């Protein structure tokens, strides 16, 4: 088994080594969907670090035993420090360097993304708990970002999330996905079912200008569209104020105020919505369940799929009154 | 994060919190206890929305509020409306909502 594998070489059942995000993207890439070029660093490298380091193992055990959130915050700091000081083995570094060279013309650098083995499961999304780093350039910074992604698996908020979901920390294995940055014109999220009403005959789309990090982090209000699947039609559209736009530049990510004329304009017209929805339906059918899909549109107008995971929350419609 | 731990200590049970900035996944530790979350930015595709759904906590995303400070310690209720919309009801006194 290779510790570093190109996306298209990752097997569709290899969740243990490459995590949900990488395995799902690999499947889509093999099926011919447009996925950014990249490779994954196996969770075996992460596990090796944990096993080699007795202090780290003992801190993780302490977190598993503790119910005191303040104690857990303190333990998280110690865990972060140990990972920060860890030296990634030379053979892994040279594999990473070799693969980076294969991906030429990654003009805007790389996205360094978490792909935890507990992430994107059918019952636990771990959404936004671990970190991703965008527009990372140069071998040294890329290696540093890999460690930061590992650290984020045990950040204070991740530890508390895992505790409240009763997931033992030894089960957390973090693969890291490195993909070329796409200088997106428009980015968004699509649910191939209405997650609010659990209606599987509808599609929800959120979209904004530039990269999608402002949208998923909740910093801006994106445009919202509700579509019917058969026949494809737009039944609701709400203009979001899209206050900031995030754009990749050569060496970093730049966030600017969105110009007024773009704030007051919908990011997607009907035809673009239908094209995105068609791809969403094909992905849903390939993955055999309703999906939560992150996507973007390149400057040449092509749609790129950045992530697909099962929707974790479809149920009978209900609400509770407090 | 410290504020979230403070909320845990004083008891988050049954409270609806108003979140006024991005990067709101730090709320995860208290979510299981909260009665609801109101976020002045974001939308259905934001991580906070995904996580609140997982915890089965009602959440309003992208909620425009004129003066958020005035809502502190008020009695509020989240109610779903048509489609994927929802509304926030605010009351001075407690009668049929908390």
A63-78 residue pLDDT tens: 999 988 788 889 999 9
Helix, strand, coil abundance in chain B, percent, nearest 5: 30, 20, 50
The pLDDT of A24-46, averaged and rounded, is 96
The predicted structure's pLDDT at residue A252: 84
The yes-or-no verdict on residue A257 having pLDDT over 70 is yes
Any CB–CB contact under 8 A between A191 and chain B? Answer: yes
Mark yes or no for CB contact B28/A222 under 8 Å. Answer: no
The predicted structure's pLDDT at residue B1: 64
Q: In this structure, how many other beta carbons lie within 10 angstroms of the beta carbon of residue A264?
A: 11
Any CB–CB contact under 8 A between A114 and chain B? Answer: no
Q: What pLDDT, in 10s, does the model give residues B37-72?
A: 999 889 988 888 888 888 888 999 999 888 888 888
How far lies A314's CA from each of A182, B7, B49, in Å?
31, 29, 13
The yes-or-no verdict on residue A113 having pLDDT over 80 is yes
The pLDDT of A233-261, averaged and rounded, is 93
The predicted structure's pLDDT at residue A318: 41
Q: What is the ipTM of this complex?
A: 0.79
Any CB–CB contact under 8 A between A316 and chain B? Answer: no
The yes-or-no verdict on residue A322 having pLDDT over 60 is no
**For residue A125, what is the nearest residue in chain B, using CA coordinates?**
B51
Mark yes or no for CB contact A128/B1 under 8 Å. Answer: no
Q: Which two tokens stand for residue A266?
A: 């919908």
Mark yes or no for CB contact A218/B61 under 8 Å. Answer: yes
Total beta-carbon pairs less than 8 A apart between chain A and chain B: 139
The pLDDT of A267-277, averaged and rounded, is 98
Phi, psi of A157, deg, nearest 5: -70, -35
E strand or H helix that includes residue A59: helix A54-65
The predicted structure's pLDDT at residue A246: 96
Of B25, B32, B35, the CB nearest to A128: B25
DSSP A58: H
Q: Considering only CA atoms, which of A253, A266, A185, A157 is closest in space to residue A222?
A: A266
Distance CA A222, CA B19 (A): 17
List Cβ neighbours of B75 (8 Å cut-off, separation of 6 or more): B90, B91, B92, B93, B94, B97, B98
Q: What pLDDT, in 10s, does the model give residues A301-314?
A: 999 999 999 997 88
Any CB–CB contact under 8 A between A201 and chain B? Answer: no
Three-state SS annotation for A31-54: CCCCCCCEEEECHHHHHHHHHHCH
The pLDDT of A73-99, averaged and rounded, is 94
Q: Quick check: helix, strand or coil at residue A61?
A: helix
Residue A320 — pLDDT band, cuts 50, 70, 90?
Answer: very low
The predicted structure's pLDDT at residue A249: 85
Range picked from A28-32, A250-254, B83-87 for highest mean pLDDT: A28-32
Mark yes or no for CB contact B83/A125 under 8 Å. Answer: no
Distance CA A18, CA A41 (A): 7
Mark yes or no for CB contact B79/A321 under 8 Å. Answer: yes
Mark yes or no for CB contact B50/A292 under 8 Å. Answer: yes
Residue A321 — pLDDT band, cuts 50, 70, 90?
Answer: very low
- The total number of residues shown for chain A amounts to 322
DSSP A128: T
Residue A319 — pLDDT band, cuts 50, 70, 90?
Answer: very low
Of A69, A129, A190, the CB nearest to B25: A129
Percent pLDDT > 70 in chain A is 94
Q: Considering only CA atoms, which of B73, B44, B29 is closest in space to residue A223?
A: B44
The predicted structure's pLDDT at residue A59: 95
Q: What is the mean pLDDT of chain A?
A: 91
How far lies B1's CA from each of A15, A70, A278, B4, B42, in Å?
31, 10, 41, 5, 20
Percent pLDDT > 90 in chain A is 74
The predicted structure's pLDDT at residue A125: 65
Mark yes or no for CB contact A191/B26 under 8 Å. Answer: no
Mark yes or no for CB contact A226/B83 under 8 Å. Answer: yes
Of B36, B45, B77, the CB nearest to A216: B45
Mark yes or no for CB contact A319/B48 under 8 Å. Answer: no
The yes-or-no verdict on residue B97 having pLDDT over 70 is no
CA distance, residue A124 to nearest chain B CA (Å): 8
């Amino acid at each position: 088994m290779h510790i570093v594998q190109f996306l298209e070489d990752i097997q569709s059942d290899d969740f243990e080594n490459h995590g949900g995000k990488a395995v799902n993207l690999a499947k889509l890439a093999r099926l011919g969907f447009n996925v950014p070029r990249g490779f994954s660093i196996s969770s075996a490298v992460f596990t090796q670090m944990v096993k080699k380091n007795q202090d780290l193992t003992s801190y993780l055990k302490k977190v598993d035993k503790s119910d005191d959130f303040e104690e857990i915050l303190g333990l998280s700091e110690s865990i972060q420090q140990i990972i920060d000081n860890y030296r990634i083995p030379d053979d892994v570094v040279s594999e990473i360097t070799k693969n980076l060279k294969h991906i030429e013309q990654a003009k805007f650098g790389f996205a360094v993304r978490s792909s935890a083995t507990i992430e994107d499961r059918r019952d636990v999304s771990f959404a936004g708990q671990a970190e991703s780093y965008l527009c990372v350039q140069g071998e040294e910074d890329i290696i540093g970002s890999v460690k930061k992604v590992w650290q984020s698996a045990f950040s204070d908020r991740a530890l508390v999330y895992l505790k409240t979901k009763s997931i033992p920390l030894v089960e957390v294995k973090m693969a890291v996905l490195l993909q070329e940055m796409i200088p997106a014109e428009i980015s968004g999220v699509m649910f191939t079912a209405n997650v609010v009403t659990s209606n599987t005959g509808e599609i929800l789309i959120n979209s904004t200008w530039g990269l999608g990090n402002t949208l998923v982090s909740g910093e801006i209000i994106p445009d919202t569209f509700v579509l019917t699947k058969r026949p494809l039609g737009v039944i609701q559209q709400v203009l979001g104020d899209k206050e900031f736009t995030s754009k990749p530049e050569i060496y970093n990510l730049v966030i600017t105020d969105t110009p007024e004329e773009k704030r007051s304009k919908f990011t997607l017209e009907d035809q673009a919505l239908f094209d995105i929805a068609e791809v969403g339906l094909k992905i849903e059918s390939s993955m055999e369940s309703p999906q939560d899909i992150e996507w973007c549109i390149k400057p040449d107008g092509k749609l790129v799929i950045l992530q697909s995971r099962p929707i974790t929350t479809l149920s009978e419609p209900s609400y509770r009154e407090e | 994060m410290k504020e979230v731990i403070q909320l845990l200590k004083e008891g988050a049970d049954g409270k609806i919190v108003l979140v006024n900035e991005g990067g709101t996944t730090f709320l995860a530790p208290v979510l299981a206890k909260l009665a609801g979350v109101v976020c002045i930015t974001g939308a259905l595709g934001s991580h906070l929305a995904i996580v609140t759904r997982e915890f089965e906590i009602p959440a309003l995303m992208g909620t425009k509020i004129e003066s958020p400070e005035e809502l502190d310690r008020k009695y509020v209720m989240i109610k779903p409306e048509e489609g994927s919309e929802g509304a926030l009801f605010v009351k001075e006194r407690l009668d049929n909502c908390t």
